[in-house]
Chain A
Amino acid sequence: MIRLYFGAIIGLALVALAALGVGAWISGILPKGLRRFDRAAFSLLGGLGVLSTLLFLVGQVSFTRTSILLLVMPACVAGIFVVFRALPQLSAMKLAATRLPILPLALIILVLSLTALGGLAEVTGDWKSDTVSYHLLGPKVWLRNGLIRPVADNSLTSFPQIPETLFATLWSLGGPRAPSFSCFLTLALLMAVAASLAVRVGLSNAEACWVAGLVATMPAIYSGSNFCVVDGIFAAFAIAACRIGLDARRLREWLAVGLFCGFALGTKYTGLLAAPAIVVCVALNGWQDVRTLQLSDYARRIAVAMAVALVVASPYYLRNWILLGCPIYPPPPGYEGLCSPKYLSADAIAYLHSYIRQRGAGLGRSFGAFLLLPFSLTYQTSWFHGGGGIGLCPLAFGPIGVVASRNSRSTKILVLLVLVLTALWFVTQQESRFLIHVYVISLIFAVLGWREVAGSQRRLSRYLAFAVVFLSCSFGILMIIRAQAGNAKAALFKTSATLKHETEIPFLASFDYFNRDDSVKRVLILDGIVPPFYLDKDYVKPVGQWGERTLPGAPNSQQALEQALAHRYYVSHVLDVQSEYSQFQIDPQTPGLTLIFEAKNQRVYRLN
């Protein structure tokens, strides 16, 4: 286990150094007002985006450990120079850190430590886990095939892939524990970016530290930033674009806005709605300065931001268009006249759309439901798959913060942005973690409101404020500890690790057999719910999790089995399972097959 942990730490260190190396130039295009700490955080975050995009482009031709090392190692050398150059400034940062309040710092350190520790545990889970079914399936298959391509049996592996490409790189350099271990770094970057935006809207360093502390203890943010879930890094890119945009005046600063919007677009499809909203809203912030500029100049700068965002994100969408027939894949509603998706039938797409509509229904889409959202999200979080809720601070203090600082231009812009982003989320898919960037901004309003309440000198106000923060943080921390306790125990104790391995990996006995036996060359997986993430060998899965048909002629499982028996797919073994969704599909007496292994709900056949 120690070797795995050591590998994860080395892998993350290499990727972080490489990101600093390729992201150092970003510091030069940031607005002048940013603090040294902000510049370092934005450079590292942007560097992760740049590194991932470069690796993705290289990975279209070759994605072996050699090609990864050829790109990462020179970047690491550049990163070492960046670190050495920054060392003299480190003492000033340390001094500033000593003036920060202890309590939020302790909360931040506790949450990050727990995330790092839990991230060292083995990734387990069934087909319902996004991490297992696609976030890490893609990286594992890419590394095995030496090429970045969507995995045909799970169409969600064709989502934009900035985080997934980083996961693959981490896996290649640091082993299988490195991707989930890296989540503490992206969570820390989200906190840093949130603190930077907080300072921009007028909070002090200590208050910004409380914003980061509240971000750390909000379960809804945590569940979207942990265990290789990519909503946290998406929110970090979106908030970074917003923060830079509030101060962007020169062309190069708008270029930085576009760069981070592009990374958001390259992380999640929700960026397609969020990025234009961010650019337009932050552009309104500079509207009063238009008097000193030609209107056409100002428009040109905004157009540059949009164009840069499109160029940065284009590899992910062009690749899908060329390989899968649609730039957005699986295609959204209304795709019919625009593109022809491959591997997915119209029925499968309709099923996916109905699933998304059903899952994202929340408490309805009426105007009343929209107005009640602050209450629904706070008190009825399970309707939005909230993963532990958003705490009390946004509702209790947020409106007060908005009222108290309503004369500030940046507050007005952020309120407008929150309304637009929430409305877009409301009409598309009401899944709590897709709104993390809005939660972060709401926490900034909350701390603004808290400051107002605490500054009123009334004893009752102070007691109430204390009660809200105490309840919010303590509930949040308890939820986070409860969610991470199993992983942390598995990382520390071998017995817990074994228990997790044996109870949380479906069809484990069959996967163990396949991975151990040298005669297994290629496995035919008949059931769509079997997660091939646990298989270390090549496989064929004719029908995917979302009804994808992966083989030429789109055969179903039975037809694919007949073809396999005729030695069409070079399959050596067949995995047949039964579950709550389906029965065994093969009669053990079938000619051409020999049942060589059987365990509970699983049978393995060898082709004769």
Chain B
Amino acid sequence: MENGVPSSKVFAVACEIWILMTLVTFLILRVIHSHLFHVYLSALFAR
């Protein structure tokens, strides 16, 4: 910590975690909302 500014490495890692979280959430939601996933779920429960 320097003058209240996070050191660049810590900040960079925090940014990576944040972006990764955003991307993963997006991809999970895309899969959940996708037609193929609904077809898979229907098949699973039909069994």
Mark contacts of B1-42 with chain A using CB atoms, 8 A cut-off: 1 yes-contact digit, 0 otherwise.
Answer: 000000010011001101110110110010000000000000
Tell whether, in the assembled complex, residue A471 and residue B12 are in contact, meaning their CB atoms are under 8 Å apart.
Answer: no
Tell whether, in the assembled complex, residue B26 and residue A464 are in contact, meaning their CB atoms are under 8 Å apart.
Answer: no
Give the total of B residues in contact with A, Cβ under 8 Å: 13
Which residues of A are found within 8 Å of B15, using beta-carbon distances?
400, 449, 452-453, 456, 461
Q: Which residue of A lies closest to B13 (CB)?
A: A458
Report the separation of the CA atoms of residues A218 and B47 in the bound assembly, to the nearest whole angstrom.
41
* Known contacts A456-B8, A456-B12, A458-B12; A400/B23 CB under 8 A: no
Minimal beta-carbon separation of B23 from chain A (angstroms):
6
Which residues of A are found within 8 Å of B19, using beta-carbon distances?
396-397, 400, 453, 461, 464-465, 468
A399 at the interface (CB under 8 A from B): yes
Partner of B12, one of A397, A399, A461: A461
A311 at the interface (CB under 8 A from B): no
Report the separation of the CA atoms of residues A467 and B23 in the bound assembly, to the nearest whole angstrom.
8
Mark contacts of A367-378 with chain B using CB atoms, 8 A cut-off: 1 yes-contact digit, 0 otherwise.
Answer: 000000000001
List the count of A-B residue pairs having beta carbons below 8 Å apart: 46
Tell whether, in the assembled complex, residue A392 and residue B16 are in contact, meaning their CB atoms are under 8 Å apart.
Answer: no
Report the separation of the CA atoms of residues A458 and B29 in the bound assembly, to the nearest whole angstrom.
28
Report the separation of the CA atoms of residues A370 and B24 in the bound assembly, to the nearest whole angstrom.
23
The range of chain A's interface size is: 20 to 34
Report the separation of the CA atoms of residues A76 and B25 in the bound assembly, to the nearest whole angstrom.
52
A269 at the interface (CB under 8 A from B): no
Q: Which residue of B lies closest to A404 (CB)?
A: B11
A25 at the interface (CB under 8 A from B): no
Q: Which residue of A lies closest to B6 (CB)?
A: A403
Q: Dominant SS at the B interface?
A: helix
A379 at the interface (CB under 8 A from B): yes
Mark contacts of A437-458 with chain B using CB atoms, 8 A cut-off: 1 yes-contact digit, 0 otherwise.
Answer: 0000000000001001100101
Q: Which of A162-177 contact B (CB under 8 A)?
A: none
Tell whether, in the assembled complex, residue A395 and residue B22 are in contact, meaning their CB atoms are under 8 Å apart.
Answer: yes
Q: Which residue of A lies closest to B27 (CB)?
A: A471
Tell whether, in the assembled complex, residue A400 and residue B22 are in contact, meaning their CB atoms are under 8 Å apart.
Answer: no
Tell whether, in the assembled complex, residue B20 and residue A471 are in contact, meaning their CB atoms are under 8 Å apart.
Answer: no
Report the separation of the CA atoms of residues A403 and B19 in the bound assembly, to the nearest whole angstrom.
14
Minimal beta-carbon separation of B18 from chain A (angstroms):
7
Q: Which residue of A lies closest to B21 (CB)?
A: A396
Report the separation of the CA atoms of residues A452 and B5 in the bound assembly, to the nearest whole angstrom.
14
Partner of B22, one of A396, A456, A460, A461: A396
Minimal beta-carbon separation of B29 from chain A (angstroms):
5
Q: Which residue of B lies closest to A457 (CB)?
A: B12
Report the separation of the CA atoms of residues A400 and B19 in the bound assembly, to the nearest whole angstrom.
9
Report the separation of the CA atoms of residues A467 and B12 in the bound assembly, to the nearest whole angstrom.
16
Most-contacted residue by chain A among B8, B18, B26, B29 (CB, 10 A): B26
Tell whether, in the assembled complex, residue B16 and residue A471 are in contact, meaning their CB atoms are under 8 Å apart.
Answer: no
Tell whether, in the assembled complex, residue A468 and residue B12 are in contact, meaning their CB atoms are under 8 Å apart.
Answer: no
Report the separation of the CA atoms of residues A456 and B16 in the bound assembly, to the nearest whole angstrom.
10
Tell whether, in the assembled complex, residue A379 and residue B23 are in contact, meaning their CB atoms are under 8 Å apart.
Answer: no
Tell whether, in the assembled complex, residue B22 and residue A458 are in contact, meaning their CB atoms are under 8 Å apart.
Answer: no
Tell whether, in the assembled complex, residue B20 and residue A464 are in contact, meaning their CB atoms are under 8 Å apart.
Answer: yes
Which residues of B are found within 8 Å of A379, using beta-carbon distances?
25-26, 29
Tell whether, in the assembled complex, residue B18 and residue A471 are in contact, meaning their CB atoms are under 8 Å apart.
Answer: no
Partner of A468, one of B8, B11, B23, B29: B23
Which residues of B are found within 8 Å of A460, using beta-carbon distances?
16
* Known contacts A379-B29, A456-B8; A396/B23 CB under 8 A: yes
Ranked nearest first, the 10 interchain pairs of A and B with the lowest CB-CB distance are A456-B12, A396-B22, A464-B19, A396-B19, A400-B15, A395-B22, A453-B15, A379-B29, A458-B12, A461-B16
Q: Which residues of A contact B (CB under 8 A)?
A: 378-379, 392, 395-397, 399-400, 403, 449, 452-453, 456, 458, 460-461, 464-465, 467-468, 471
Q: List 9 interface pairs A-B (beta carbons < 8 Å), by A numbering.
A: A379-B26, A396-B18, A400-B18, A400-B19, A453-B15, A458-B12, A461-B16, A461-B19, A465-B19
Given A378-B26, A449-B15, A458-B12, 6 other A-B contacts at CB below 8 A? A392-B26, A400-B18, A456-B8, A460-B16, A464-B16, A464-B19
